[in-house]
């Protein structure tokens, strides 16, 4: 929405938030008002009919009636440029605020500092305030047919569904809106007024004509009504025509019966009977969506624009006042379309020149969106490019790059390349198809164009915006060093620029540091981002910041900590976004990674498919690649090897397209592991051929900046698995020792556990049973502490046999329970049946007791909670210990958690 920097802009906004003012001879429709008021419990009042049937007049009458009854009334008239989330929501909040002072302040915060407008979050915030209202509220949204954005329509559906009973939404639309109308009809919450109900009756038509001073004989009246069929605009046009040419009554029968043809005939007749000078004035004024006296002067070259508009209103030439002060007007849509089409056909050059003049006027009055729309219609590419370039940074800060790109389509390449913001939008929109080198070349040319690429002083807004886009694209293309370098440059000048762009770049730099194995740097950048984030009110970056913390814990191998952080993220930030918001794509992948590591696979593939197909503003290829690997693992565990292989091939294509060779290496490593676990006799040969098909050293050369070279890690791990599969356990131990030396202290926790597990297997097969058991127990203790289970299953059948042997010999109940828990979820095992038997073995009361014990209650507190004697509580606990095969309360709680018995 245009910033209100000029009184004209402010008055135009106010005009959109008020019902049109009724003309003096407005036709009363008591039966229509009765129909609208008949169902007082209706949640939605829908007036749907083609143009000219009096929808807006009926809605205005309803608004006046409800206001007289003491209701709060909010009005929003939509325009052609309002099918854009930020613009629509800002105007909706303004409309509600005009009826309810100070309403929607929290919702407004969501529209600030966001890279993508969180439509669902804004609506949830508005709903939270609406439920607190006591007085009834009527919200009128006129011309809803102009809204096609699916997110906005979904938000309106949610508003209708969850608003309080005191709320009513009245809609004017030329077509049936894409809302849940069938459900509303079924629940009797919808009142529909259509074309037939809006048609004037014969009596109303006669009354209207008489009030216009027309007395038609029965034959002429019958002919007129037959031609117009009660179409309100048609009746009005006929009255204007006959008022000035009474003899034309005889021609009524010649108009035909087609409504469009009748309308065109009458419009042409009314227009052509006006003086030529008046016709020229109307043609000039008709190009504007909204008109003020000063704008009328600019379009006509006169100095009496306000007087001219009032005169046209008095002539009832379809000019409607939009506010009580009559500062703004608009032509009825039918008449406006007629005027524009006529001018464009007659004099296309004048049509363009008038749009150019309107664009200049709106520019001078700081109404940029309208100025840009008129520049588009003027087909003046230079002016359009300059206007978009001038307000582009503000649009970027609002997350409206899509608008820039829409307008960019009207500018030829040879002009666009001279305007940096248009180039920036080009790079951003085409980021997926551009190579990293090409994207960087275009962005670096922008920085050089501004002569600020090497400036040591504070960065200008345009340079900062370019660097932010450069940073996000670098993350998409796996150029982690560039992300970190750009974050460091911002770090040196922190607090001197837009907090929003600073925080975004710090988050990107922190994530890149995490993936590069630089935890100290990642923590520092996260701390700085958190400090600057306090200056922002939006929640998008807040969520991304929290998600980076989750991913850092996962990289460290601290899965429990990641689970805790994600639970906080889910409780604190995620509820502000709808279940299918793009902003949730990355957190959904993070949640899947945690759940997979801990052996919770139910629904994981479905969630990952959604997240991986959902593109958010920040799209780190690293997280998407981890998500694809996770999905392949789940598919393999669930005995879908073909799907798993297809996912790995898809990941290899993604990695090759982005030249992200570490992910290519990871997918090849997983492919080899999958081959080795097949029953086929030639699996060793095929696995070795696949391993040798990759030039590992060449791929490793791309990652000198990473402390643990990811390509060499995958190659080493794959060699170990192949050596063990062939029975070469001593060679595998040598490879394990070499790989272990590359791991970082206090980092790579899961990698260290995996090496311990594989080393235990080698020692066991070489006959070093004590050493093997010691390593395996060490690995299990670390895994149990973090709740990690999938790591064991990934290594296949030989590990399952190793765990079964240890379970039989293990004396520690907690560790024995953890091993049993892993075996229970092992693919193809009969453990799930055992789990069901065990769950049946605990009575409902015993499950209640163990759940309360898990919450930290003492025996006495459990007794009070369940109204049991202390001795009875102890008796239940004794039975629980027996059934779970444990010795004390702590072990019982741990064992119950392993078996999911705490989920009442």
Q: Check residue 820 and give its pLDDT.
A: 87
Q: Reduce the secondary structure of 777-830 to three states and give it as a string.
A: HHHHHHHHHHCCCHHHHHCCHHHHHHHHHHHHHCCCHHHHHHHHHHHHCCCCCC
Question: 272 and 332 in contact (C-beta within 8 Å)?
Answer: no
For residue 518, give the nearest of 275, 687, 707 by alpha carbon.
Answer: 707
Percentage of residues in the chain having pLDDT higher than 90: 25
The CATH class for the domain spanning 28-198 reads alpha beta
Return d(Cα 28, Cα 207) in angstroms, integer: 10
Return d(Cα 644, Cα 632) in angstroms, integer: 4
Backbone angles phi, psi at 74, to 5 degrees: -115, 140
Q: Reduce the secondary structure of 428-470 to three states and give it as a string.
A: HHCCCCCCHHHHHHHHHHHHHHCCCCCCCCCCCHHHHHHHHHH
Measured between alpha carbons, how far apart are the two ends of the chain, in Å?
A: 50
**244-263 per-position pLDDT tens digit:** 665 555 555 455 444 455 55
Question: 99 and 67 in contact (C-beta within 8 Å)?
Answer: no
Return d(Cα 461, Cα 45) in angstroms, integer: 46
From the number of C-beta atoms within 10 Å of its C-beta (0-12, 13-18, 19+), residue 263 rates as buried
Q: Which residues contact 596 (CB under 8 A, 6 or more apart)?
A: 604, 630, 633, 634, 790
Cα angle 810-791-630, degrees, rounded to a multiple of 5:
155
Please report where in the chains the tokens 């008239």 appear, as a residue: 77
Q: Check residue 1 and give its pLDDT.
A: 38
Q: Which CATH architecture has domain 840-898?
A: Orthogonal Bundle (1.10)
Please report where in the chains the tokens 């989750």 appear, as a residue: 550
Q: Check residue 666 and give its pLDDT.
A: 93
The 3-state DSSP class for residue 901 equals coil
Cα angle 161-164-167, degrees, rounded to a multiple of 5:
90
Please report where in the chains the tokens 């001073």 appear, as a residue: 213
The 3-state DSSP class for residue 728 equals coil
Residues of the chain with pLDDT under 50: 1-7, 23-26, 253, 256-259, 453, 830-837, 839-840, 904
Q: Count H helices and E strands in the chain, helices first.
A: 49, 7
Return d(Cα 447, Cα 469) in angstroms, integer: 12
Return d(Cα 791, Cα 637) in angstroms, integer: 12
Q: Which residues contact 558 (CB under 8 A, 6 or more apart)?
A: 749, 786
Cα angle 207-213-214, degrees, rounded to a multiple of 5:
75
**781-840 per-position pLDDT tens digit:** 999 999 999 999 999 888 988 898 888 776 777 788 888 889 988 887 544 444 444 544
Percentage of residues in the chain having pLDDT higher than 70: 83
Q: Check residue 222 and give its pLDDT.
A: 72
Question: 120 and 158 in contact (C-beta within 8 Å)?
Answer: yes
Question: 496 and 458 in contact (C-beta within 8 Å)?
Answer: yes
Q: How is 94-119 classified by DSSP, letter by letter?
A: HHHHHHSTTTTHHHHHHTSS-SS--H
Return d(Cα 628, Cα 606) in angstroms, integer: 12
Return d(Cα 597, Cα 633) in angstroms, integer: 10
**400-426 per-position pLDDT tens digit:** 666 777 788 888 888 887 787 787 777
Return d(Cα 525, Cα 344) in angstroms, integer: 57
Report strand pairing: 137-142 vs 329-331.
unpaired
Return d(Cα 741, Cα 754) in angstroms, integer: 14
From the number of C-beta atoms within 10 Å of its C-beta (0-12, 13-18, 19+), residue 538 rates as buried
- What is the Cα 245 distance to its own chain's centre? 57
Q: Check residue 484 and give its pLDDT.
A: 93
Return d(Cα 392, Cα 411) in angstroms, integer: 15
Return d(Cα 468, Cα 111) in angstroms, integer: 19
Return d(Cα 528, Cα 681) in angstroms, integer: 56
For residue 289, give the nearest of 359, 187, 381 by alpha carbon.
Answer: 359
- What is the Cα 802 distance to its own chain's centre? 47
Q: Check residue 450 and give its pLDDT.
A: 67
Question: 471 and 505 in contact (C-beta within 8 Å)?
Answer: yes
pTM of this prediction? 0.60
Q: Check residue 591 and give its pLDDT.
A: 94
């Amino acid at each position: 929405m245009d910033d209100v920097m000029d009184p004209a802009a402010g008055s135009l906004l106010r005009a959109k938030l008020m019902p049109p003012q009724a003309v003096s001879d407005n036709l009363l429709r008591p039966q229509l008002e009765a129909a609208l008021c008949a169902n007082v419990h209706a949640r939605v009042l829908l007036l749907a009919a083609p143009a000219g049937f009096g929808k807006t007049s009926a809605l205005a009458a309803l608004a006046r009636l409800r206001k007289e009854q003491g209701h709060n009334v909010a009005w929003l008239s939509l325009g052609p440029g309002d099918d854009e989330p930020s613009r629509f929501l800002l105007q909706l909040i303004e409309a509600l605020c005009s009826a309810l002072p100070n309403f929607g302040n929290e919702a407004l915060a969501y529209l600030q500092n966001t890279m993508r407008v969180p439509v669902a979050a804004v609506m949830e915030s508005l709903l939270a305030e609406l439920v607190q209202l006591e007085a009834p509220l009527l919200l009128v949204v006129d011309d809803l047919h102009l809204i096609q954005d699916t997110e906005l329509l979904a938000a309106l559906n949610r508003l209708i569904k969850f608003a309080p009973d005191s709320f009513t939404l009245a809609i004017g639309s030329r077509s049936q809106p894409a809302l849940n109308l069938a459900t509303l009809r079924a629940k009797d919450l919808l009142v529909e007024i259509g074309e037939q109900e809006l048609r004037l009756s014969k009596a109303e038509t006669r009354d209207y004509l008489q009030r216009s001073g027309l007395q038609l004989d029965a034959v002429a009246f019958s002919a007129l009504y037959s031609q117009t069929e009660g179409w309100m605009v048609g009746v009005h046009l006929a009255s204007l025509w006959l008022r000035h040419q009474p003899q034309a009554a005889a021609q009524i029968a010649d108009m035909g019966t087609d409504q469009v043809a009748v309308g065109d005939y009458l419009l042409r007749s009314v227009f052509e009977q006006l003086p030529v000078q008046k016709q020229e004035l109307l043609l000039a004024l008709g190009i504007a969506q909204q008109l003020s006296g000063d704008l009328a002067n600019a379009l006509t070259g006169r100095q009496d624009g306000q007087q001219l508009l009032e005169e046209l209103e008095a002539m009832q030439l379809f000019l409607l006042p939009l506010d009580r002060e009559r500062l703004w007007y608009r032509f009825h849509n039918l008449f406006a379309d007629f005027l524009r089409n006529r001018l464009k056909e007659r004099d296309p050059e004048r049509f363009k020149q008038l749009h150019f003049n309107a664009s200049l006027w709106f520019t001078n009055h700081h109404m940029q969106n309208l100025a840009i729309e008129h520049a588009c219609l003027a087909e003046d590419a230079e002016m359009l490019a300059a206007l978009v370039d001038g307000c582009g940074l503000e649009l970027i800060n609002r997350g409206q790059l899509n608008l820039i790109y829409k307008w960019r389509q009207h500018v030829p390449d040879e002009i666009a390349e001279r305007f940096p913001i248009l180039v920036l939008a080009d790079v951003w929109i085409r980021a997926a198809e551009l190579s990293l080198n090409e994207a960087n070349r275009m962005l670096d040319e922008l920085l050089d164009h501004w002569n600020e690429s090497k400036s040591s002083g504070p960065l200008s807004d345009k340079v900062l915006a370019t660097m932010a886009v450069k940073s996000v694209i670098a993350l998409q293309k796996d150029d982690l060093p560039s992300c970190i370098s750009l974050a460091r440059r911002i770090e040196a000048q922190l607090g001197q620029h837009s907090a929003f762009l600073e925080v975004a770049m710090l988050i990107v730099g922190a994530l890149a540091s995490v993936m590069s194995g630089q935890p100290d740097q990642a923590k520092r950048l996260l701390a700085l981002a958190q400090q600057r984030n306090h200056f922002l009110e939006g929640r998008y970056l807040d969520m991304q910041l929290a998600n980076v913390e989750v991913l850092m814990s996962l990289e460290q191998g601290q899965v429990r900590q990641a689970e805790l952080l994600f639970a906080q993220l889910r409780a604190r930030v995620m509820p502000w976004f709808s279940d299918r918001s793009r902003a949730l794509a990355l957190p959904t992948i993070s949640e899947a990674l945690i759940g997979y590591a801990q052996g919770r696979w139910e629904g994981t593939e479905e969630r990952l498919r959604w997240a991986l197909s959902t593109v958010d503003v920040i799209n780190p290829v690293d997280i998407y690649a981890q998500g694809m690997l996770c999905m392949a693992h789940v598919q393999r565990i669930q005995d879908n090897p073909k799907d798993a292989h297809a996912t790995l091939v898809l990941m290899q294509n993604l990695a090759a397209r982005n030249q992200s060779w570490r992910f290519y290496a990871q997918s090849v490593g997983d492919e080899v592991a999958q081959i080795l676990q097949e029953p086929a006799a030639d699996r060793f040969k095929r696995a070795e051929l696949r391993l040798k098909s990759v030039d590992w050293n060449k791929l490793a050369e791309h990652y000198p900046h990473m402390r643990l070279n990811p390509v060499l890690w995958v190659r080493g791990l794959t060699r170990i698995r192949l050596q063990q599969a062939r029975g070469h356990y001593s060679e595998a131990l040598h490879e394990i020792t070499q790989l272990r030396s590359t791991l970082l202290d206090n980092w790579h926790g899961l990698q260290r556990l995996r090496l311990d597990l594989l080393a235990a297997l080698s020692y066991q097969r070489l006959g070093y049973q004590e050493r093997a058991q010691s390593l395996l127990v060490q690995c299990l203790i670390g895994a149990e502490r973090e709740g990690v289970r999938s790591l064991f299953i990934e290594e296949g059948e030989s590990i399952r046999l190793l765990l079964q042997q240890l379970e039989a010999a293990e004396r520690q109940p907690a560790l024995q329970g953890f091993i049993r828990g892993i075996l229970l979820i092992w693919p193809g095992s009969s453990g799930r049946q055992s789990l069901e038997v065990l769950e049946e073995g605990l009575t409902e009361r015993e499950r209640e007791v163990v759940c309360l014990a898990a919450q930290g209650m003492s025996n006495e507190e459990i007794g009070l909670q369940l109204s049991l004697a202390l001795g009875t509580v102890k008796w239940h606990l004794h039975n629980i210990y027996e059934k779970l095969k444990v010795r004390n309360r702590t072990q019982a709680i741990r064992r119950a958690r392993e078996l999911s018995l705490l989920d009442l």
